Amino acid sequence: MFESLSEKFQSAFATLRGRGRIGEGEISVVCDEIRNALIDSDVARTVADKFVERIQLEASANLDSIKLSTNPSQEIYSIVQRELVRILGGAGRRLKFAKNPPTIIMLAGLQGSGKTTLAGKLSNFLKESGNTPLLVAADLQRPNAVNQLSVIANGIDIPIFAPQPGNGVGDPVEVAREGVALAKAKFHNVVIIDTAGRLGVDEEMMEQIRSIRDVVKPDEILFVVDAMIGQDAIRTAQAFNQGVNFDAIVITKMDGDAKGGAALSITEETKKPILFISNGEKTSDFDYFYPERMASRILGLGDIQTLAEQAKRVVDTDTAKRLEDKFLSGQSFTLEDFLEQIQAMQKMGSMSKVLGLLPGANSASMKKQLAAIDDNELVRTKAIVQSMTPQERREPKILNGSRRVRIANGSGRTVTEVNNLVDRFDAAAKMMKQMKNGGGGLPMAPQIARPVPPKKKSRSGNPAKRAQEESR
């Protein structure tokens, strides 16, 4: 979501990088560009002004040390990063559970911000961490919102309380109250209440959600906002903040390419933290919000931390250890290992999403390539490997013409595709050998990580020194 913002920041800093000496003038030029970048990214104008003012003050105060620094633009960069992290919520916050369960979570937001989808994702997220959520369908306004929540709940196997058909029938306050009572009786430790979307300016609807709040007394009121919202974000957030005094923010549709300035505006204006982000069509595309990581992403530094965590989450330590031992002991890398790697990759999510976390992934050229990545490629590759016999997987050398035809038929691919895979595997295996002699990279992706050629030994002109070198 912050992609374009980071692109623009990068160009603002590029102008700075070209200048050797930095004074007030240069700082004010960069600040102007940062302001423009923020406004183009839908950051509320007043927020952008305040942000830039602080950067300017901070930079001016540290002008002497910036001037002395070997890398002045890096200094300003750090100031911007610190300020971003600060606005986005510092250390980040986690869901607050009630001392006496159930923890009551109420969702509020504009129409179409994604509340119902989010209710499903949040309940699934909580269930996976060992909670027993109950969904309550209190959006009785939008046609079939109740139905939609029921379908979602059934799909992820979460209990739902939906006593009213909705479509304008039923009292949402009553539904919420009964839902909480039911959760208590059935020992659900979390209740998630979906409410109807409403406009910030609609006083009548705001009164309704206030009544729900006053009756159920939620532990967390989450304001759900679409990453694509424009300058109105600030007014809407203010209206909801005054209306229901929400506790935290959830940003949805983060997988789009919206510049996402709303996140900055809303946190700055309401001083409320962003708790979660939702970034995809799948139920699992949902996570806590990390201000540090997001600031890095805005500035185009990549999100290595998330990548590492995802890798850790999906590759169990046993497999990793076994592959590593095998690798170090000099045994050859087989198609069976390859298959295991593919499966681990698939568990990490789509290739484009994984690679999108790498530094530089926000540049225009990289973005284009990411968009063109076909995740079905992994599925097809897997199918081909799975159509081989265990022996063939261990010794790809025995793959003659007729075996290849059989594999192609078995996996529903063409012989050319089988040939390509075997060739790619050979290249990867070769690279594994090279990597053992130093270097690194992803063995699976020879086209991405070029093999590092073995380092040429330096040969000293001094015969004694050379002898010493060669004897090493």
Site residues, another protein (CB under 8 A): 36, 39-42, 44-45, 110-114, 117, 141-145, 147-152, 155, 167, 199-201, 226, 228-233, 235-236, 239, 253, 255-259, 261-262, 281, 371-372
CB of 256 to another protein, least distance (A): 4
Half-sphere exposure of 242 (CA within 13 A, CB side): 10
Nearer to another protein, 137 or 248 (CB): 137
- Give me the sign of the Cα torsion angle 44, 224, 91, 292: negative
CA angle, residues 354, 358, 364, in degrees to nearest 5: 100
CB of 318 to another protein, least distance (A): 35
CB of 105 to another protein, least distance (A): 20
Cα–Cα distance, 142 to 382 (Å, whole number): 43
Q: Say which DSSP state 166 is in.
A: B
Query: Using CB atoms within 10 A of its CB, is residue 321 exposed (0-12), middle (13-18) or buried (19+)?
Result: exposed
Strand order in the sheet with 133-138: 160-161, 133-138, 190-195, 103-109, 220-226, 248-252, 274-278, 286-288
* CA distance to 195, 200, 276, 312, per residue, from 209 (Å): 8, 12, 21, 41
CB of 349 to another protein, least distance (A): 14
CB of 413 to another protein, least distance (A): 20
Q: Which two tokens stand for residue 49?
A: 């002004």
Nearer to another protein, 66 or 196 (CB): 196
Cα–Cα distance, 340 to 161 (Å, whole number): 41
Nearer to another protein, 28 or 36 (CB): 36
CB of 298 to another protein, least distance (A): 15
Other Cβ atoms less than 10 A from the Cβ of 346: the count is 15
Nearer to another protein, 166 or 179 (CB): 166
Nearer to another protein, 374 or 469 (CB): 374
Nearer to another protein, 31 or 335 (CB): 31
CB of 225 to another protein, least distance (A): 10
Nearer to another protein, 143 or 390 (CB): 143
